Amino acid sequence: MAAHISRISESLRCFASDKSGNIAVLFCLALLPILTAMGCAVDYSMASRLYAKLDAIADAAALVAVSQVATATSNSASQASALSMFNGQASLLANVTLNSVTATVTSSGTSKTAVVSYSATMPTTFMSVVGKPTVTINGSATAAAALPTYIDFYLLLDNTPSMGIGATPTDVAKMVNNTSDQCGFACHDLNDSNNYYNLAKSLGVTTRIDVVRAATQQLMDTATTTEQVSNQFRMAIYTFGSTAAAAGLTTITSLTSSLSSAKTSAANIDLMTVNGQGQFDDMDTNFDGIFPQINLAIASPGDGSTAAQPQKVLFFVSDGVADEYNWGCTQPGLNGDGRCQEPITVSLCTAIKNRGIKIAVLYTTYLALTTNSWYNSTIAPFNAGPFGPSPNSLIAQNMQSCATPGLFFEVSPTQGISTAMNALFQKAVKSSHLTQ
């Protein structure tokens, strides 16, 4: 009996000292939290993928709310579009429940901002074991876009006799070679049936005013295709007068939102006529009279956020040299009879810009007419280089100073005025938004 008890005691001591099964016990004890952690990682990964999908949908919904179409609608309609977009796309996702979706659209000046926010829950698989049956996912997206900027353009087109010059050096040369006094201008003298205007037509010479007319008509097409909403742009067209006797601000078309009718009216742009050479001493480019008149014709500008508050842009096309009766002439060349021929006075433009009106200037470079004695004695002192390029030409410098910064374009003799006018128009539209 004692021996038997001794064997049992020995067996118990051996069992107590035997450690070969501890690893299995420890593994079993650790397995549950390890599996739980792995399961949580899987649930978290699924939640992250769902978050990315919902955020992408929110981004798209916000963009819908500020799209080109939406910018022309009310903010409430834009919000409805965003919600419809989000809910429609989110409904295609599996294992998600939307708790809430909001879309807020606001307008400020010429910009529109949309914020789309959401809250959703996703059922879990492994995390439910530890008492978390769902995961909440929250997110938001913001998008902003420019609203259509309403702009009124007032085109002031120099149609005085100097704009009868050949449009290119080739055109000028053709006129010089076919006139006894080597004149590059197609002067439109109604008292002479053989005037140089008619000569230019018969020779097939294209003059500056011909190009300006066609470019103005093309500009109306560009404005039409650029409009984001109906009646975004309105146009008014003015010249310096149809005749020297009636020189002054002359309306080709009053301010109108019908760009097609403005294009039709632009066909009437032509060179100012004179009744005999030397009529009114050829003082037909009266900047000092025209600019105060156009200033009065332009109403106070708005911020461009609505059709009732349009921005205002004076679109000025000229070769930049005044020829007027002005005893206050600031440059050399005064003949002692009150006739003033000089580059435009910058203060005329400053008075307009001080009202918040932008001025876009297309400077049709004053060509050097070296065979013409009048040019050599009167204009050449202001005009450096063969074609008067900036910055050596005081004419070009003053024209650039007249323009609102960034809205100046100089057209060389070989460049297209139509292309330049369209480019300057686009710059004016872009500038009108960026400066808000």
Instruction: Please identify, among 146, 178, 194, the residue that sits at the C-terminal boundary of a domain.
Output: 146
Range(s) of the domain holding residue 295: 151-434
Predicted confidence (pLDDT) per residue in 174-217, tens digit: 998 998 888 888 887 788 888 889 999 999 999 989 999 999 99
> If pLDDT is split at 50, 70 and 90, which confidence band does 338 have?
confident
In the chain, % of residues over pLDDT 70: 82
Asked whether residue 375 falls in the same domain as residue 350, the answer is yes
Same domain, 92 and 212: no
Asked whether residue 418 falls in the same domain as residue 271, the answer is yes
Q: Which helix (H) or strand (E) holds 10?
A: helix 2-17
In a domain, 8, yes or no: no
What is residue 269's three-state secondary structure? coil
Query: Do 157 and 141 share a structural domain?
Result: no
CA distance 83 to 57: 10
Q: CA dist 314 to 187, 258, 360, 404, 418, Å?
A: 27, 18, 6, 10, 17
Average pLDDT over residues 101-113: 85
Q: Token match 């930049």: residue?
A: 320
For residues 236-254, give the mean pLDDT: 94
- Looking at the structure, do residues 124 and 160 belong to the same domain, yes or no? no
- Please tell me the pTM assigned to this model: 0.72
- 51 located within any domain: yes
- Whether 287 and 308 map to the same domain: the answer is yes
Q: Which of 70-79, 160-169, 386-395 has the lowest mean pLDDT?
A: 386-395
Q: What is the CATH number of the domain that holds 338?
A: 3.40.50.410
Residue 2 lies in a domain: no
pLDDT given at position 336: 65
- Domain termination residue (choose one: 146, 168, 188): 146
pLDDT at res. 235: 98
Assigned domain for 121 exists: yes
Does a structural domain hold residue 12? no
Which is higher by pLDDT, 257 or 183?
257
Contacts 24+ apart (CB under 8 A), 66-70: 66/105, 66/112, 66/113, 66/114, 66/143, 66/144, 66/145, 67/145, 68/145, 68/228, 70/112
Cα dihedral 420, 196, 289, 369 sign: positive
Q: What is the pLDDT of residues 273-321, one digit of tens each?
A: 988 777 767 788 899 999 999 999 999 999 888 899 999 999 999 989 9
- 391 and 315 within one domain: yes
| Structural domain includes residue 200 | yes
Whether residue 15 is predicted with pLDDT greater than 60 in this model: the reply is no
Whether residues 354 and 424 share a domain: the answer is: yes
In this structure, the answer to whether residues 307 and 427 fall within a common structural domain is yes
Among 357, 350, 354, 251, smallest CA distance to 312 is for: 357
Domain end position, chosen among 115, 146, 177? 146
Answer whether residue 3 shows pLDDT above 90: no
pLDDT at residue 80 tops 80: yes
Say how many domains are in the chain: 2
Average of per-residue pLDDT values in the chain: 84
Q: Are residues 133 and 201 located together in one domain of the fold?
A: no
The pLDDT, as a whole number, for residue 19 is 54
What pLDDT is recorded for position 167?
84
Position 313 in a domain: yes
Same domain, yes or no: 202 and 313: yes
- Structure-block tokens of residue 376: 């050599």
pLDDT above 60 for 224: yes
pLDDT band at 67 (very low <50, low <70, confident <90, very high): confident
Residue 8, exposed/middle/buried by CB under 10 A (0-12, 13-18, 19+)? exposed
Q: pLDDT by residue (tens digit) across 33-63?
A: 655 555 566 767 888 888 999 999 999 889 8
Query: Does residue 5 belong to any structural domain of this protein?
Result: no
For residues 375-381, give the mean pLDDT: 81
CA-to-CA separations, 273 to 145, 163, 239, in angstroms, rounded: 49, 12, 12
Q: Are residues 289 and 188 in the same domain?
A: yes
pLDDT at 36: 57
- The helix/strand count (H/E) of the chain reads as 12, 11
